[in-house]
């Protein structure tokens, strides 16, 4: 099979819902990059890396204000954030399962609605994560005063960079088949780490509250 692009049935973001039935084998795991695809891969990687670095530098240089705009109905910004992050992490599980289904990794046929489900759960998760990240960057900044905070800060920068790479890869033709699953995996891992180092920490040390 060609490395240039997965067949339409395996293209997770193909807009044609009817073509979302998976029958063929999954994409091979990390083959060498064909020479023709290398510049395209490098291009999206550079843009994603730039996003990560810009977020990190902003978080480090901007004086944390300690305060930020809040969402009505919650007792404080931290409560807003842990629940938005929990929403995003839950949707990330939907992302993982729907992606595995599209790639034929689960023992049942991929239904027609799995593509739209993957797209819209992903968009919702991203939109939920953006205000959380903006509060982190604006009010708290990139910090390193303990291991949890350092991991969380770095994972946040990684997450948005990897997400950018994945979105750009989807709209770029001629990329190797392993790019999407790899960066989908990084995005999922990043968001999971973010949730563990923020919301789970909050629920276990402060308590489950709104």
Partner 1 sequence: MKLKGPLVTLGVGGVLAGAILVANVAFSQAKSSSTQQAAASVAPAAAASPSASASASASASAAPAASTAAVSLAQVTYAGKVNGGGSLSVVLKGASGIAYLCDGKNEAWLWGSTDGTAVNLKNRTGDTLTATRGGGKLTGSLTVHGTTWTFALPVAKKPSGLYRATAKVRGASVVAGWVVLPDGSQVGAWTADGGPTTPAPPIELGSGAVTVDGAPLTAATVDPETTTL
7 binds partner 1 (CB under 8 A): no
- At closest approach, how far in Å is the CB of 143 from partner 1? 6
Which listed residue (28, 30, 127, 148) binds partner 1 by CB under 8 A?
127
Which residues are CB-neighbours of 148 under 8 A, at least 6 positions away? Answer: 197, 201
123 binds partner 1 (CB under 8 A): yes
Using N-to-C axis directions, what is the helix angle for 147-170 and 114-135, rounded to 10°? 140
* Smaller CB separation from partner 1, 23 or 65: 65
- At closest approach, how far in Å is the CB of 107 from partner 1? 29
207 binds partner 1 (CB under 8 A): yes
Q: Cα-flanking dihedrals φ and ψ of residue 71, to 5°?
A: -105, 130
Token digits for 29? 């795991």
126 binds partner 1 (CB under 8 A): yes
* Smaller CB separation from partner 1, 125 or 155: 125
* Smaller CB separation from partner 1, 13 or 21: 13
Which residues are CB-neighbours of 39 under 8 A, at least 6 positions away? Answer: none
**List of long-range contacts for 1-7, beta carbons under 8 Å, 24+ apart:** 1/25, 1/28, 1/177, 3/28, 3/31, 3/34, 3/37, 3/176, 3/177, 4/34, 4/36, 4/37, 4/173, 4/174, 4/175, 4/176, 5/173, 5/174, 5/175, 5/177, 6/177, 6/180
Which listed residue (29, 61, 72, 73) binds partner 1 by CB under 8 A?
61
172 binds partner 1 (CB under 8 A): yes
- Concatenating the DSSP letter of every residue in 87-106 gives HHHHHHHHHHHHHHHHTT-S
Which listed residue (83, 138, 188, 195) binds partner 1 by CB under 8 A?
138
Residues touching partner 1: how many (CB under 8 A)?
A: 40
Alpha-carbon distance 115 to 98, whole Å?
A: 8
65 binds partner 1 (CB under 8 A): yes
* Sign of torsion over alpha carbons 107, 109, 112, 115: positive
Which listed residue (67, 105, 109, 210) binds partner 1 by CB under 8 A?
67
* Smaller CB separation from partner 1, 39 or 109: 39
168 binds partner 1 (CB under 8 A): yes
Q: Which residues bind partner 1 (CB under 8 A)?
A: 13-15, 61-69, 119, 122-123, 126-127, 130-131, 133-134, 138-141, 143, 145-146, 164, 166-168, 170-173, 205-207, 209
């Amino acid at each position: 099979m060609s490395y240039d692009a997965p067949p339409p049935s395996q293209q997770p973001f193909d807009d044609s819902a009817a073509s979302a039935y998976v029958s063929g084998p999954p994409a091979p795991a990390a083959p060498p990059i064909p020479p023709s695809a290398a510049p395209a891969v490098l291009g999206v990687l550079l843009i994603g890396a730039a996003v990560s670095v810009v977020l990190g530098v902003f978080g480090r240089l901007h004086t944390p204000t300690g305060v930020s705009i809040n969402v009505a109905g919650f007792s404080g910004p931290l409560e807003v954030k842990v629940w938005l992050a929990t929403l995003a992490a839950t949707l990330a599980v939907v992302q993982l399962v729907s992606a595995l289904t599209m790639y034929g990794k689960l023992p049942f046929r991929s239904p027609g609605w799995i593509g739209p489900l993957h797209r819209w759960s992903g968009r919702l998760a991203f939109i939920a994560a953006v205000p959380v990240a903006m509060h982190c960057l604006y009010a708290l900044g990139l910090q390193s005063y303990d291991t949890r905070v350092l991991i969380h800060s770095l994972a946040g920068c990684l997450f948005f960079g990897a997400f950018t790479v994945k979105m750009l890869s989807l709209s770029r033709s001629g990329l190797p088949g392993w790019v999407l699953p790899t960066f989908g995996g990084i995005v999922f891992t990043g968001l999971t780490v973010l949730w563990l180092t923020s919301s789970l920490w909050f629920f276990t040390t402060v308590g489950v509250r709104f």
